[in-house]
Structure 1
Amino acid sequence: MKNKMNTLAFACCAIFLFSTTIGCKNKESKPSEAEATEVQAEAEPDFKISLAQWSLHKTFFGGQIDWENFGKTLKESPDDLLKGPDPMEFPAMAAAYGINTIELVNTFYFSKGDDKAYWTAFKKKCDEAGVTVGLIMCDALGNLGDADPEKRKATVENHYKWVDIAEFLGAHSIRVNAAGEGTAEEVAEHAVAGLKSLAEYGAAKGINIIVENHGGYSSDGTWLSGVMDKVGMDNVGTLPDFGNFCIERGPDGCIKEYDRYKGIAELMPYAKGVSAKSHNFDENGNEVDSDFLRIMKIVKESGFKGYVGIEYEGTELSEDEGIKATKALLEKVFAQLQ
């Protein structure tokens, strides 16, 4: 009887120890909050898709655009250019494509720079659509590389309101142009001065100042990367565009073009965003002028992680179809890079 009791006691003890051990293992296997956050961060994709508002410029401008008088109208009566949907609806339009980050273009809001009520309403539209603003592309504000110090100062100050709007909307950057007149060396010197001055204001607001390869000297990757080196500020960077590498244009199109793959590689070390410019597609859904996979391999090898913005400018597809085609191509390429 004593032996049976000892055996029973031993069995109960073993069961208790086994249960306790299993319980401890289960408890230990449950990740802590910090571990769960780490796992979630690891699962975050390297690249996400945003939508540049310029992809819908024909839509907002109502189709045919009088480019010859565009600049004059923009300065004198900018709202007259808007003959399509209200740009206030852009957040909802982007959300309809399954895209939750947008890149605004100041051209569509040129009369709203000082209208706080408008931007409060716009932010509400973003919240309702579940959309955030990544950056604001700024044009028609003057040349940051102007040789005249007073004109350059005025250009810098013209950007202040857009820095303020970017801060209010929660954007990370404004995109600017490093343009000017003179030799490559002269424009570079003046652009460095203009960018540094604007970047000081941007830094105080937590906003990056980023330069796109956008024609002229800026489409020369060596030139623009050299400007970045000379500026040497943490909140100054680039927005490499897949297709904007035309240095000089003639009556029939580009007559001097920089190698886009070399240019992307030169600009990526400074990139705080990427612009996936697209025009036309082949029967397999690939962009005919830019090898998206080749470019995105360069982007990935640079260590960049973040948003790649759709910027469709083609004519063969509608803007709606072009946006969808570019999104599908990017998603295919992202999958191939995994």
Structure 2
Amino acid sequence: MKPTHQPSRRQFIRVTAAAAAATCILPRSGFADKAAGDAAPFKISLAEWSLHRTLRDASKNLTNLDFPRVSKEEFGIDAIEYVNQFFKDKAKDEKYLTDLKQRCEDLGVKSLLIMCDGEGNLGDPNDNARTQAVENHYKWVEAAKFLGCHSIRVNAGSRGSYEEQMKLAADGLRRLSEFAKPHGLNVIVENHGGLSSNGAWLAATIKSTGMDNCGTLPDFGNFRISGGDNPEWYDRYQGVEELMPYAKAVSAKTHDFDADGNEVNTDYDKMMDIVLSHGYHGYVGIEYEGGKLDEYEGIRLTKALLERVAAKVAKKG
């Protein structure tokens, strides 16, 4: 790795603020990424959660700082999506973030977004707790901006009736989006359990924020609304259809594969037809979450599946 000059705290803040001030429009979403004459219907990125078991296994000696290298060298993927759990205490660590950013630059790897968990419920019924949750995300907006990301992914957790949760979540999301907008950052919500896994509810919640930098990250597999003995599931194809008008990223969830390399839970041809029908041509993030295969093998199978789908789409013209 190239030696780097570590900026002072004052330099770090000044560079970040200057970049934010220079941003007069939000980063392009996947709807604007397909250039004329570009045959690729979409691009492939790698979500860090695909390696969560490896990262948590101390014997593997792999950390978040190694993620850009592993993505590029092991899988040939040059765009990545971080998970804040793997550098939880580093959001304000300028030396760490500078090191991570330099590693990406040295490898030619693009940082796309940070998936944020564990910072409180943005739709918490308690006003003080909701405000605290909003403010807890500020540091991740600033870290994402410094790394060159276009978004942070958040959760829309809440409690109460259907309508109450929509109102509460929209309030928290709107306030966080207002903070993120001057930084040129999007706040995007994944279907991630509870009412957020109801496509109609989440789409309406995003719309009600009135913020154009608040959107969705449709995940192909996270459509379980409730658990227990009789879990409630939302139709995944309907859900993605409902979420795509607000999508600023897409998560290609996989668990298991058949002998032909197809995902057994999701018809990828059908699902990607839905994604592309909305004019989305940006990054589709691999998120292997299965437990039967080695994570590296799961990632490779997901990439191969996406490449086959892309080839079919390109062939059809």
TM-score category (smaller protein): 0.7 to 0.9
Aligned to 1:42: 37
More RCO (CA 8 Å, sep 6+): 2
- Separation in structure 1 between the aligned mates of residue 148 and residue 89 of structure 2, nearest angstrom: 21
Query: 1:40 and 1:288, CA in 2 relative to 1: closer, same or farther beyond 3 A?
Result: closer
Aligned to 2:68: 91
Structure 2's unaligned 5+ residue stretches are: 1-33
Alignment of 1:209 onto 2:187: yes
- Separation in structure 2 between the aligned mates of residue 226 and residue 235 of structure 1, nearest angstrom: 15
1:44 Cα deviation after fit:
5.5
- Separation in structure 2 between the aligned mates of residue 282 and residue 83 of structure 1, nearest angstrom: 28
Between 125-134 and 270-279, the greater mean CA deviation after superposition = 125-134
Contact 2:40 2:310 in 1 (8 A): no
Contact 1:61 1:84 in 2 (8 A): no
Stretches of 4+ moved more than 4 A in 1? none
> Greater Rg, structure 1 or structure 2?
1
The within-5 A match list for 1:121-136 is 121-136=99-114
- Separation in structure 1 between the aligned mates of residue 204 and residue 156 of structure 2, nearest angstrom: 12
Aligned to 2:293: 317
TM-score of the two chains, using structure 2 as the length reference: 0.86
Query: 1:206 and 1:267, CA in 2 relative to 1: closer, same or farther beyond 3 A?
Result: same
The sequence identity of aligned pairs, in percent, is 52
Alignment of 1:144 onto 2:115: no
1:110 Cα deviation after fit:
0.5
- Separation in structure 2 between the aligned mates of residue 44 and residue 297 of structure 1, nearest angstrom: 16
The within-5 A match list for 1:262-277 is 262-277=238-253
Aligned to 1:183: 161
Query: 1:95 and 1:236, CA in 2 relative to 1: closer, same or farther beyond 3 A?
Result: same
1:40 Cα deviation after fit:
6.6
- Separation in structure 1 between the aligned mates of residue 207 and residue 92 of structure 2, nearest angstrom: 33
Q: CA RMSD in A?
A: 1.5
Contact 2:63 2:86 in 1 (8 A): no
1:83 Cα deviation after fit:
7.1
- Separation in structure 2 between the aligned mates of residue 296 and residue 244 of structure 1, nearest angstrom: 16
AA of the residue aligned to 2:300: K
Number of residue pairs the alignment of both structures matches: 280
Q: 1:281 aligns with which of 250, 254, 257?
A: 257
- Separation in structure 2 between the aligned mates of residue 324 and residue 44 of structure 1, nearest angstrom: 22
SS at match of 1:133: strand
- Separation in structure 2 between the aligned mates of residue 116 and residue 104 of structure 1, nearest angstrom: 17
Structure 1's unaligned 5+ residue stretches are: 1-38, 64-81
SS at match of 1:242: coil
TM-score of the two chains, using structure 1 as the length reference: 0.81
- Separation in structure 1 between the aligned mates of residue 269 and residue 39 of structure 2, nearest angstrom: 20
Q: 2:233 aligns with which of 246, 257, 271?
A: 257
Q: 1:243 aligns with which of 210, 213, 221?
A: 221
Aligned to 2:57: 62
Contact 2:41 2:313 in 1 (8 A): no
1:46 Cα deviation after fit:
2.9
AA of the residue aligned to 1:273: A
Contact 1:48 1:308 in 2 (8 A): yes
SS at match of 1:51: strand
1:245 Cα deviation after fit:
0.2
1:208 Cα deviation after fit:
0.2
AA of the residue aligned to 1:317: L
AA of the residue aligned to 1:266: E
Q: 1:334 aligns with which of 297, 305, 310?
A: 310
Alignment of 1:230 onto 2:225: no
- Separation in structure 1 between the aligned mates of residue 140 and residue 60 of structure 2, nearest angstrom: 23
- Separation in structure 2 between the aligned mates of residue 206 and residue 55 of structure 1, nearest angstrom: 27
- Separation in structure 2 between the aligned mates of residue 221 and residue 144 of structure 1, nearest angstrom: 18
SS at match of 1:141: coil
Aligned to 1:304: 280
Contact 1:101 1:134 in 2 (8 A): yes
Question: What do the CA deviations read for 1:126-178 (whole angstroms, capped 9, x no partner)?
Answer: 11111010010000000000011111111111000100011101100000000
AA of the residue aligned to 2:45: S
SS at match of 1:185: helix
Alignment of 1:295 onto 2:290: no
